[in-house]
Every structure is written in C-alpha cells, then in structure tokens.
Structure 1
Amino acid sequence: MENNVKEPARLWKVLKSEYIYRDAWLTAQKDTVELPNGNRIPNYYILEYPDWVHTIAITKEGKFIFIRQYRHGIQEVRYELCAGVCDASDASPLETAQRELSEETGYGGGVWKEYMKCCANPSTMNNWTYTFVATDVEPISAPHREPTEDLSVHFLTREEVIELLQQDEIKQSLHAAALWKYVAENHLI
C-alpha cells in the first residue's frame, strides 16, 4: 500500500440476478451489475459452491498425512491434503475437517487450529476454503469412505513434502498455497 489511508469499499450494485443452472455440485447465476463508476456489465457469472476445508495433518511421529487420488478435471492421480465439502449438518468448518480426516484416513484427535481462510477464485466463485493444521493426530478408527472415494493414504516426511512442493507435484492450488505458507512460517527449508 502506498499510504495508510483506507479507501471506502466500492461495491458493485446488483441490478438483476437469476439462476441459470442448479444441481447438487454446480450452481450458476447470471447477474447484471453496475460498477461504482456507473458502467454496467450485463452478463456476470457466479459459480456457487459450499465452503471447503482441508487439513495439514501431522502424526505424533511427525509424518504429514496425504491422500493420493484421481482428479478427473486434469485426468491425473495426485497427492493432496485431506479435504472435503462442508455439509449443512456440520456445526462448523472445524467439524467438517475433523470428520473428513477421520472418514478418509481413520486419523483424528490431536491439536487443531484454523490456519487460513481463502477463496479459490473470488472473482467468480462465492465460497470460502478453510485450512486447518492438526498436530499429534493418531489412528482412531478404520477409514469409512463414501462409495465415490477411491484414494490411498500416505505418510510423508517433511523432506518429501518439500520435494513435492519444489517439484511442482501438488497441483491443487489451495493445498499448495497452505503448504507453502506452513513451510515458510515454520522455517522448514
């Protein structure tokens, strides 16, 4: 910032809004908006999603828990953090993250903290992604995955995680951003 004076918010005015597609995993709306300078955009599209969570989970032995699964959008199998979608029945994003870690890996317990909150694309998507760090997690049950989940669980060393990041092998950008922040803040390189 060039100066410390906070500018007033310059919000867009929504003149018209309509849903053009609604399904369980994709909802799209089309807005007509007016910018603060008076210019109008007649067709501005917003994709609506539920909030998402992912967790940097570290075992008592210091291993990072990753999953590896196929991602049809890029048609590749990749390492990722344990992640999921906030269900309406979850009391909070933390509850969602704890549920997802348990369901996908069988791990839980430990010490949890919210680490960061970001948006995948705030220009055209309306949801938040919550990152949690869970340390000292341990096995608490067998995994109980949904029928649509086909994944494997991996326990990686700090060096292996850093190598994946440096080799650009973590393609999920929200996961990579959280991991790079964690690596930087904890002086892991």
Structure 2
Amino acid sequence: MENNDRKWEVLHSEYLIQRPWLTARRDCVRLPNGVENDEYYVLEYPDWVNVIAITAEGKFLMERQYRHGLQWTGYEICAGVCEKGEEPLESAKRELYEETGYAGGEWKHFMTLSANTSTMNNVCHCFLAEGVKRISTQHLEPTEDISIHLLSTDEVRALLLNDEIRQALMAAPLWKLFAERKLL
C-alpha cells in the first residue's frame, strides 16, 4: 500500500462566511504535481455525534423530524454537535438525554465517519448505547421538533431496506450493526 499522503500545499485562505452554523473558506492550493487551484472550497463544522440507542427491552430509539434541505420528514437516530470542550462520548450522552429523555445503558464507540472528506473538515463519532431507559422528558431547543419512536428490529430493517433513512451518517452505522449481528 502506498504511504505517500499526497497532501496539498495551502498557499492562502480566505473566509467567505463565518456564522454559527455555516463557515466556508476558499483555499488556494498547490497539488503535488504542481497544479494550482485558486478556488477550492471547504466547509468548516465542529465534530458531530450520533447514537444507535437500544432500550433494555430491545427496541430501537428512533427520532422522526422534518429536514428542510430535502423538505422531507423521516426516521433518524439521535444526533448532534460536539460542543466546544466536550469529548464525543459526553456530547453523545448529552444529545440523547436532551432529544429523547433517555440515558444510562452500556456505551461504546462504534465508528467514525466523514460526511464528505473532500469539502468538509469534521467527522461524525457514532456510538452504540444498549440498555438505555427513559429518565426524563425531552429537553428540546426552540428550533427542534422531534418525535420519539420505539421501533422493533424488523421495523428498523424495513426502513433500511426501503431507503427510508436518508441521512448517510445515520444509515451507515445502522447498516454496520445489522451486518455485524447478522440481522439482514
């Protein structure tokens, strides 16, 4: 396997927009072959987390919400942003509690993904939490409108097989779990 990282040289950068939920910069880069590209765009985000949460009774804790980009409403696993100073596991536990009111159980890091390695600078840390229990009501932000659903393995499998989980960063860890556990 090749060890050469073929890293590009950044000649200069310019921020085009810096807002709480959108930061974009334009880089002028030189490739290893000497070619320069003066319009390479990168979106900067904090790292993200998501959680496959399974209750003590074996139900998948799923969220249903509207996503304006696709103008679509669908099922998802719990997800959110790593706040400044938080470790990914801490962020994942916080997001699960805030969005669903569930907590506890056995947690493990499941995988790390990138939404787009070409133009985004962050990763998504995926966790598996088994044996979670409801300990509270939801603690949603004013801009969140999330309903909670407890689905069986068969129901989640059907969502996957029918392409009804559209967010790739959520579908991928579910597919991995179903493959590892031979649930397909």
TM-score range, shorter chain: over 0.9
The Cα shift of 1:148 comes to: 0.9
2:131 equivalent to 1:136: yes
Helix, strand or coil: the match of 1:184? helix
SS of alignment partner, residue 166 of structure 2: coil
Tell me the residue number matched to 2:48.
52
Question: What residue number does 2:156 align with?
Answer: 161
Q: What residue is the counterpart of 1:178 in the other structure?
A: 173
**What TM-score results when the alignment is normalised by the length of structure 1?**
0.95
Q: CA deviation at 1:7?
A: 2.5
Distance (whole Å) between structure 1 residues aligned to residue 146 and residue 35 of structure 2: 48
Is 1:127 the counterpart of 2:122? The answer is yes
Using the size of structure 2 for normalisation, the TM-score is 0.98
**2:11: which partner in 1?**
15
Structure 1 residue runs of 5 or longer lacking an equivalent are none
Is 1:86–2:78 an aligned residue pair?
Answer: no
**Which residue of 2 is the match for residue 27 of structure 1?**
23
Aligned match of 2:65 in 64, 69, 75?
69
Q: Residues of 1 paired with 2:123 and 2:161: CA distance? A: 26
Identity percentage of aligned residues: 56
Q: CA RMSD in A?
A: 0.8
CA distance in 2, matches of 1:174, 1:40: 32
Quote the residue 1:98 is aligned against: 93
> CA deviation digits over 1:114-164, x for unaligned, max 9?
000010001000001010000000112221111111110000000000000
Instruction: Give deviations 1:56-93, integer Å, cap 9, x for gaps.
Output: 00000000000000000011111000000111142x01
Structure 1: distance between partners of 2:40 and 2:85: 31
